[in-house]
Structure 1
Amino acid sequence: MNSQPGDRSLPSINEYYSATQLRSDRWSALREAAEGLSREGAEGRKGKKLLQTAEHLFDSLEVIEAYWAFPGASSFAHLRRLLNHGNYDELLTAVRRVARALASGAYRRRTVPLSSDELDNEDFEDEAALSPEARALGRPYFEVLIVDDVSEQQERFLRHSLLRMRRSEDPFIYEPVVVPSIEDALIGILFNHNVQAVVVRPGLALKSRNDLPILSRYLKRVGDPEDVEAIQPHEYGPEACRLIARVRPELDAYLITDRSAEDIAGLDLGICRRVFYNQEDFLELHLNILRGVNRRYKTPFFTALKEYSKQPTGVFHAMPISRGKSISRSHWIQDMGAFYGPNIFLAETSATSGGLDSLLEPRGPIKEAQDMAARAFGAKHTYFATNGTSTCNKIVTQAVVRPGDIVLVDRDCHKSHHYGMVLAGANVVYMDSYPLHQFSMYGAVPLTEIKHHLLKLKAAGKLDRVRMITLTNCTFDGLVYNVQRVMEECLAIKKDLVFLWDEAWFGFARFEPTYRQRTAMATANTLREKLKEPETAAAWEAQQAKLADASDEEWMNTRLVPPPDARVRVYATQSTHKTLTALRQGSMIHVNDQDFKGEVEQAFHEAFMTHTSTSPNYQIIASLDVGRRQVELEGFEFVQRQVESAMSIRRAVSTHPLLEKYFQVLTIADVVPETYRASESTHYYDPRQGWTDKWAMWAEDEFVLDPTRITLAVGGTGWDGDTFKTKILMDKYGIQINKTSRNSVLFMTNIGTTRSSVAYLIEVLVEIANELDDLLDDASKMERRSFENRVAALVEHVPPLPDFSRFHDAFRADGDTPEGDIRTAYFLAYEEDNCDYLALDDALMERLESGEELVSTSFIIPYPPGFPILVPGQVISPEILKFMRALDVSEIHGYRADLGLRVFTKAALDAVMSKKS
């Protein structure tokens, strides 16, 4: 029997990861129920069931809608009255308009009439379906959260008083929404992504009267509940501003208070931009709200580039393509002009004047844009790069590291770091990540591994030469460090250690509270404040007394406290183009180094000049400027949706009986061994237990898994990861992914991922599983055995991942510590007579197993995964050779299959050894 609208069983609230998804689905269900009531009425069994469903939906939505300006409390109450009075036709009209306006974004552009007496000619097209020109003509919409425990009449007065101040010349349009308490304000800013400003009034309460679990769950992201519980009534206003700053630092807050200026002046008001004293100056408040949003909306360089493109210009310099002249005059490349349109060429220039600026010596709009990016990402300085994060990594390394300095490097980091070590002349200590043999991938570098190397260097008297540590956060596979703990414990051993965090895939993390706490810049700012606290000094002194005669083992097993005079020296490189809105190769370097001005700035400038083109692409720079604007104004919303999409994929695969036969979504427990987990959480979603709130694990565990990285084990299909990616996903279904391992593929959601994309991916996986079922149903006994053998080879007989072996003695100062002179080895290989080639055969394995030392001349980088398994000067171990021979990837950079593995000759190594002696 076909189900009627409104008859569908409503999913439990516990099945939803976010209240945003719950809200969307509940409005859709209410529309279906209203359609049924309009057609069937409320009589009979079916009608009564429809009425009961509608009442239940109104009950669940009433709590949720209190945090949104549209449709608003007044309109929502009107809809409920229509239901109660049995006016189902009118109810259907109003609910349809609300549901469609929410889905399309029409409420952002215009007033949506709810009564059938009012004509509504809008065709409710999706906002995203409008042309860019049409959308650019409209005024951006946002909502203002007013925190005040007032009566319904007073609430209307506040709303109307503020709305009366709006003018047609205002650059933006907003709607107010009123909540009564600090807790409601915190829920509101975490749930309502439209909020851009918060007005905190003196009448606010402390606790929320809302007990809906999916909403109260948001409060856990604020931190310790005692932070809220302990607030005294006279502190409500200032503390509300402080807590809002902790959760959403990009927002603007305005405090209206009846306390004296003297009482307020010395308080930490977080993000409060203006204090209004016991007055109802709504015009001034309105203007400040608009000014605050405009502060984030400004794009200095993008605006300058647009203005430049409008100017009539005579081109008598390089670049025939400037102004599109070489295209418009052509008879043969008109298709290029038609494809790209005129603006990109009108804005193409090599000029640094005329309102523009120089990336190499920025003093105008580029400098202003970089300063605004620093504010947005929590840095002290930010630099734009148009050559990708590979170049950013080399710039930072060359600026900070001097020849002969010792640098601790994550062996599995991006190859640009390794090349940066060559350029800087660093002595490298490679650190091993923990292996995940069964999935042919590495995890991350344990803190014990880092401390072990630092303590060993300290014992050898080399700690003064240790300059920097380089780690990838988060890793390609989504493993995220406990950044604060790593920096604190390392600084406890060497108090001026420099940290380079490669956040190429983590630029979005700044704009979500759970993620933010594990980013380099947020942690640097937290650590700066923590080191100033008397409690830190006391804890350090007590620990130093306790560890005075302690062994290295005790140091290893102790959670170390940094000294109060430690220097916070942190750099982060981000591929803005990979996780945020920017053109290809648009990246940023963020600096939070207390010694930058006095020690590094000049060297950084020289390194930046060394690696940056004198003809940088202005379109990339402009896109970085616009990308910064976007994340300051809607990054929170987009990242929330990104996480929601990923969680939907996890839940769908985990609960689909057919998909479970061939695929496995790797869980937290699969990629983070129990050793590194303080919390008890092992899944983000468990079909038996439902959703796990990620706040606890992100606050406590040494490593956590970024939920937006979904690693799907595909060994059960009989295809290796590379084949599954290329032949199945890309060639057959047009699904693009970045990374594979021997038996897995990695799906990544981003700020552009839609629910439709998620649905398509699940459909494809189900289709693949169905085809495999059909294939095996018709398979002969031998064909089935062949399939089982392929699966076993991918799932059970996986070659172990090799660790870093060691540098050959020719490239080491001594045998006490493991650092190696990678630069000498790299350039020694420039002489062809110093090198030989060896085939990857059994004879080579026998030579290695017999103890012969063979040394790599170059970086050997299988792709995927894209990190070196051999570097110049490294001794080749039998384990590395075995791993290489088992590789089934299409690319191994640095290896020539026609010649073999390139190694140093014995004579070349002996010559280096003789020079050392």
Structure 2
Amino acid sequence: MVSGADLTRRFRIHTAKGRPMNSAGTVLQGYNNLSQYRKDTWSTLEEAAERLAVAAAADRPVDAHADRVSGLLERLNPIERYWAFPGPQAFQAGRRLFTAGKYTRFARAVASVSRALASDSFRNGIPWSVAAAITDTMDQSGSTTGTSTPQRPYFEVLVVEDMTEAQERALRQELRAWRRPDDEFIYEIVVVPSFEDAVIAARINFSLQACVIKRRFAQHSGRDMSAVAHFVDDRSPNDLMEHSVEERADLLGKALVGIRPELDLYLMTEITLEDVAGWLSHDFRRIFHSREGTLELHLSLLGGIEERYRSPFFNALQKYSHRPTGVFHALPISQGKSIVNSHWIKDMIDFYGLDIFLAETSATCGGLDSLLEPTGPLREAQDLAARTFGSRQTFFATNGTSTANKIVCQALVQPGDIVLVDRNCHQSHHYGLMLSGAHVIYLDAYPLNEYSMYGAVPLRSIKAQLLELRRAGKLDRVKMLMLTNCTFDGMVYDAERVMQECLAIKPDLVFLWDEAWFAFARFHPVYRPRTGMHSAGSLLGKLRDPQYRKVFAAWNEQIKDATDAELLDTRLIPDPARARVRVYATQSTHKTLTSLRQGSMIHVFDQDFGQKVEENFHEAYMAHTSTSPNYQILASLDLGRRQAALEGFELVQKQVEYAMRLRDAVDNHPLLRKYMRCLTTADLIPAEFRPSGIGQPLRSGLKNMQLAWRSDEFALDPCRVTISIGATGIDGDTFKREYLMDRHGVQINKTSRNSVLFMTNIGTTRSSVAYLIEVLVKIARELDEKVTDMSLAERAAHEHAVRRLTSSSAPLPDFSSFHDAFRPSPADDPGPGPATPEGDVRRAFFLSYDDSLCEYLMPELIQEKLDRGVDVVSATYVTPYPPGFPVLVPGQKFSRQILDYMNSLDTSEVHGLRADRGYRVYIDKALEIAREARDGASSRKVTNDGVPDYSASDFQDS
């Protein structure tokens, strides 16, 4: 029998500073969520228990096996209370079997738990017991043998109250008694006694979907929390117990919403409900009296899940697809009729299945809806999406975020409006601004010359540009700031701070956050505060807080005489009486959540949407949206929202976990380390933007990650694993095409001159990560053998390639400037301030439609002209892949820096550059025409808002 002291000693052997360790005392690598660590520990315990049972049955020494089992049990002991299966009581019953030396029975029970966790079969809702497991009445999946129960979605409910084991058992039995065979869902409860335990459970137990807060709970756990310290941030209010019982419940509710906003919260109290309901936070769905029993609570728990589970458009389409119809309309493929009777394309049904064609329809009635004028299930689906993603309105898009960006741009920007945009943005922004007639100011992101990629736009640069426009008297024309959050390479803005400081200068500035690759971020408590929609809601809450008004008044008094130079170094806050929160986010659901290709969403949090934007938005939406949208895409968006609302937290946590496993595998493998290295936060974000000073936030625990993401100007998405491959001597594009895709079928999107980017997503599995590691090791091994066998000449060539790829290339070029012909006329400049850099991309773009005004020049001829001081102006977008952003836009002047950079690129794919003819540029006559058209339009035609209006005639020969 093992004493309590022995167990404590063994537990200390297996832990260090709260980080899980293996039996040799080495810190376990790769674990960043406790759920995965728990499952793996149960799997290890199964194997250890089996060895112990076999040794005992054979009458061999068991001490070593018993020590190992004891250590594993002590790893699990402090964390099992946070899950309903197998439950703390069953866990302790199993431990008693071990302590009593009943090793065979113990091994059977452990195997039953381990297999049920691995297969998720515990979700079938069949009560599990140690007795059933050890008497072999549990089948191999963990279910009771011979029991057939329809699979229903399973969830767990957190109950927060300090109760005895008997009270907990009684509550569980009472709630189980209300179950009915026709219930759509099934659940079990997890009981914790304190604020601290509740917060931890919400962070680590993905199955939790609801929380019932009762009156009697403590502040602190009262147990040793070191085992979970690495995985959670267990902070709680210092003065919690000084508040009333109901105030403590409210504070706990707010804490849980901050971690898991999707959780349904319920309060059970014993005082007058009417008194509590009047002031309690809106975060609670219902309040119940403790003496009224649990039936209504049970029904409310199921109803809350049903509300999130609804997928109104998918259900309507599914129902419609099984109705017999007569189609006397377009779409011959409707209900598969053009395929079923075909002699030649029946294999289409074999491949896709019949249901996808049964659901093909062009109907906007009969239970369905119109995307352009939704009033039924589609509108309901979009409303549910708005609630899930924290927006005020959400619109579905069926042609990707490229179209979504153009819709927002056209809805908000008029010709002549000034828009600030990251030059290193997606091409859809460039085309959207061109179509809307915006006067564009391109902002430069900080360069990472060593890896031939850009970071993000420093806030100081944005503030400097806004202040410059204010000095020039043009701030009233500034309409929007467009930024990519997060960037392709994983740089994430502090969205709330950016908006806060910009609104202090321009109170009605509109923000468009391109979150094409960031839709998943809403469902992780660390990511969420840096998303556009959450930041908008948080900022509006601050502006409406009476205390904030006092803070602003004091701050405003302090800086009233500050110069612009001083304001650049000051943390600015907006005037709550003037600032308007106007935020848009476009997200590619199909890129990081579940949707068919091209499924995207536009999220709106705009205080002025109904008054200023709604009609224009509708027109822009009509202009860019097909009148024959793909209903399969729309239905998949509805289902993707459902999945995100119910299991987004779990899936994103696993996504992060697998990314860190990949990082650890690359950085700790001796052969991979020789040729590859995962770039860290410190590599990709300069120290000046990281006041926390933490170079690898996630690897140093959740608390450090939270600190970095709260305080640093930019954070790095850990799910973007950029691997430097310069030491291989193989450029990124070749590594992607020849080594990853052609040889091993590994697909990636992004490379640079000397790096490749791997991204985990909610569909990534441990097996796919293992396969990638296997592929990388195979490539490294082949390369190692090849280098070993090289001749002297071959080795010299290889070493030259390595030096070229591991040294900085030509510096990444900043945006040069627009040519004067495409800048505003001096007559249009209303103020005495300096000239500002905006340019009219639309005039420059459409001028090139007259081919007689353009010519092609090879780089050498352009260089000669630049040497003579002659301007050379691009007539088109020039975009190399990689890195995939326009180096030149229509109307932009060439520079020596741009030519040097283009000449240093290894990529063969450059849009806007013809290998046989060179770059398409404007001739001198075109620039004269553009200047005359600009000046003529300025003197002749003015719109109602004082902005020059241009028409096609302004681009013709004079």
Is 1:855 the counterpart of 2:869? The answer is no
Instruction: From the superposition, tell whether residues 613 and 230 of structure 1 become closer, same or farther in structure 2 (CA, over 3 Å).
Output: farther
Amino acid at match of 1:267: W
Q: Does structure 2 conserve the Cα–Cα contact (< 8 Å) formed by 1:146 and 1:179?
A: yes
Q: Any idea what the Cα deviations from partners look like across 1:444-473, whole Å, max 9, x if unmatched? A: 000011001100000000000000000000
Q: Does structure 1 conserve the Cα–Cα contact (< 8 Å) formed by 2:115 and 2:140?
A: no
Aligned to 2:115: 100
- Please state how far the C-alpha of 1:109 moved relative to its aligned partner: 2.0
Q: Does structure 2 conserve the Cα–Cα contact (< 8 Å) formed by 1:667 and 1:684?
A: no
CA distance in 2, matches of 1:667, 1:749: 16
* Structure 2 counterpart of 1:821, from 805, 826, 840: 840
Aligned to 1:678: 691
What secondary structure, in the 3-state scheme, does the structure 2 residue paired with 1:63 have? coil
Q: Any idea what the Cα deviations from partners look like across 1:491-525, whole Å, max 9, x if unmatched? A: 00010000000000000000111000000000100
CA distance in 2, matches of 1:340, 1:457: 56
Identity %: 54
Q: Any idea what the Cα deviations from partners look like across 1:837-875, whole Å, max 9, x if unmatched? A: 00123x432322332210001111112222111001000
Instruction: From the superposition, tell whether residues 509 and 232 of structure 1 become closer, same or farther in structure 2 (CA, over 3 Å).
Output: same
Q: Does structure 2 conserve the Cα–Cα contact (< 8 Å) formed by 1:42 and 1:48?
A: no
- Please state how far the C-alpha of 1:915 moved relative to its aligned partner: 3.7
What secondary structure, in the 3-state scheme, does the structure 2 residue paired with 1:658 have? helix
User: Where do 1:433-472 residues align within 5 Å?
Assistant: 433-472=445-484
Instruction: From the superposition, tell whether residues 618 and 20 of structure 1 become closer, same or farther in structure 2 (CA, over 3 Å).
Output: same
Q: Which runs of 5+ in 1 are unaligned?
A: 1-5, 127-134
* Structure 2 counterpart of 1:870, from 881, 888, 906: 888
- Please state how far the C-alpha of 1:260 moved relative to its aligned partner: 2.3
Q: Any idea what the Cα deviations from partners look like across 1:205-227, whole Å, max 9, x if unmatched? A: 1111243335245552x777548
Aligned to 2:851: 832
Aligned to 2:914: 896
What secondary structure, in the 3-state scheme, does the structure 2 residue paired with 1:66 have? helix
CA distance in 2, matches of 1:542, 1:821: 41
* Structure 2 counterpart of 1:700, from 711, 714, 718: 711
Q: Does structure 1 conserve the Cα–Cα contact (< 8 Å) formed by 2:678 and 2:722?
A: yes
What secondary structure, in the 3-state scheme, does the structure 2 residue paired with 1:433 have? coil
Instruction: From the superposition, tell whether residues 49 and 584 of structure 1 become closer, same or farther in structure 2 (CA, over 3 Å).
Output: same
Q: Any idea what the Cα deviations from partners look like across 1:605-645, whole Å, max 9, x if unmatched? A: 00000000000000000000000000100000000000000
- Please state how far the C-alpha of 1:892 moved relative to its aligned partner: 1.2
Q: Quick check: 568-577 or 773-782, which moved more?
A: 773-782
Aligned to 1:241: 253
Q: Any idea what the Cα deviations from partners look like across 1:637-695, whole Å, max 9, x if unmatched? A: 00000000011111222222221111111101111101101102101466xx7887311
Is 1:780 the counterpart of 2:791? The answer is yes
Is 1:718 the counterpart of 2:729? The answer is yes
CA distance in 2, matches of 1:657, 1:826: 52
CA distance in 1, matches of 2:740, 2:242: 53
Aligned to 1:129: none
What secondary structure, in the 3-state scheme, does the structure 2 residue paired with 1:870 have? coil
Q: Any idea what the Cα deviations from partners look like across 1:299-319, whole Å, max 9, x if unmatched? A: 000000000011011111111
Instruction: From the superposition, tell whether residues 224 and 726 of structure 1 become closer, same or farther in structure 2 (CA, over 3 Å).
Output: farther
Q: Does structure 1 conserve the Cα–Cα contact (< 8 Å) formed by 2:31 and 2:657?
A: no
Q: Does structure 2 conserve the Cα–Cα contact (< 8 Å) formed by 1:835 and 1:904?
A: yes
User: Where do 1:744-823 residues align within 5 Å?
Assistant: 744-813=755-824, 814=826, 816-823=835-842
Q: Does structure 1 conserve the Cα–Cα contact (< 8 Å) formed by 2:78 and 2:225?
A: yes
CA distance in 2, matches of 1:779, 1:229: 72
Q: Does structure 1 conserve the Cα–Cα contact (< 8 Å) formed by 2:482 and 2:514?
A: yes
- Please state how far the C-alpha of 1:31 moved relative to its aligned partner: 0.7
Aligned to 2:862: 844
Q: Does structure 2 conserve the Cα–Cα contact (< 8 Å) formed by 1:42 and 1:50?
A: no
CA distance in 2, matches of 1:808, 1:136: 73
CA distance in 2, matches of 1:356, 1:685: 46
- Please state how far the C-alpha of 1:904 moved relative to its aligned partner: 0.4
CA distance in 2, matches of 1:584, 1:311: 27
What secondary structure, in the 3-state scheme, does the structure 1 residue paired with 2:790 have? coil
Q: Any idea what the Cα deviations from partners look like across 1:776-808, whole Å, max 9, x if unmatched? A: 111122211111100111111512110000000
What secondary structure, in the 3-state scheme, does the structure 2 residue paired with 1:888 have? coil
- Please state how far the C-alpha of 1:279 moved relative to its aligned partner: 1.7
Aligned to 2:596: 583
- Please state how far the C-alpha of 1:32 moved relative to its aligned partner: 1.3
Is 1:295 the counterpart of 2:302? The answer is no
Q: Any idea what the Cα deviations from partners look like across 1:415-445, whole Å, max 9, x if unmatched? A: 0001001111100000000000000000000
Aligned to 1:66: 81
Is 1:374 the counterpart of 2:386? The answer is yes
CA distance in 2, matches of 1:320, 1:201: 59
CA distance in 2, matches of 1:754, 1:125: 23
Amino acid at match of 2:185: F
User: Where do 1:337-416 residues align within 5 Å?
Assistant: 337-416=349-428
Aligned to 2:488: 476
What secondary structure, in the 3-state scheme, does the structure 2 residue paired with 1:430 have? strand
Is 1:908 the counterpart of 2:908? The answer is no
Instruction: From the superposition, tell whether residues 322 and 136 of structure 1 become closer, same or farther in structure 2 (CA, over 3 Å).
Output: farther
CA distance in 2, matches of 1:214, 1:884: 53
Aligned to 1:880: 898
CA distance in 2, matches of 1:733, 1:125: 37
Q: Does structure 2 conserve the Cα–Cα contact (< 8 Å) formed by 1:199 and 1:256?
A: yes
Moved over 4 A (4+): 6-11, 42-46, 116-123, 222-234, 689-692
Aligned to 1:130: none
CA distance in 1, matches of 2:284, 2:418: 44
Q: Which runs of 5+ in 2 are unaligned?
A: 1-20, 827-833, 936-958
Q: Does structure 2 conserve the Cα–Cα contact (< 8 Å) formed by 1:15 and 1:690?
A: no
* Structure 2 counterpart of 1:124, from 141, 164, 179: 141
Amino acid at match of 1:850: R
Amino acid at match of 1:408: L
- Please state how far the C-alpha of 1:233 moved relative to its aligned partner: 4.7
- Please state how far the C-alpha of 1:46 moved relative to its aligned partner: 5.0
Instruction: From the superposition, tell whether residues 890 and 259 of structure 1 become closer, same or farther in structure 2 (CA, over 3 Å).
Output: farther
- Please state how far the C-alpha of 1:257 moved relative to its aligned partner: 0.9
- Please state how far the C-alpha of 1:588 moved relative to its aligned partner: 0.2
User: Where do 1:519-538 residues align within 5 Å?
Assistant: 519-538=531-550
Aligned to 1:635: 648
**How many residues are treated as equivalent by the alignment?**
900
User: Where do 1:418-437 residues align within 5 Å?
Assistant: 418-437=430-449
Q: Does structure 2 conserve the Cα–Cα contact (< 8 Å) formed by 1:14 and 1:691?
A: no
What secondary structure, in the 3-state scheme, does the structure 1 residue paired with 2:216 have? coil
* Structure 1 counterpart of 2:65, from 36, 50, 71: 50
CA distance in 2, matches of 1:329, 1:494: 63
Q: State the TM-score, normalizing by the size of structure 2.
A: 0.91
Q: Does structure 2 conserve the Cα–Cα contact (< 8 Å) formed by 1:183 and 1:219?
A: no
CA distance in 2, matches of 1:7, 1:453: 54
- Please state how far the C-alpha of 1:266 moved relative to its aligned partner: 3.5
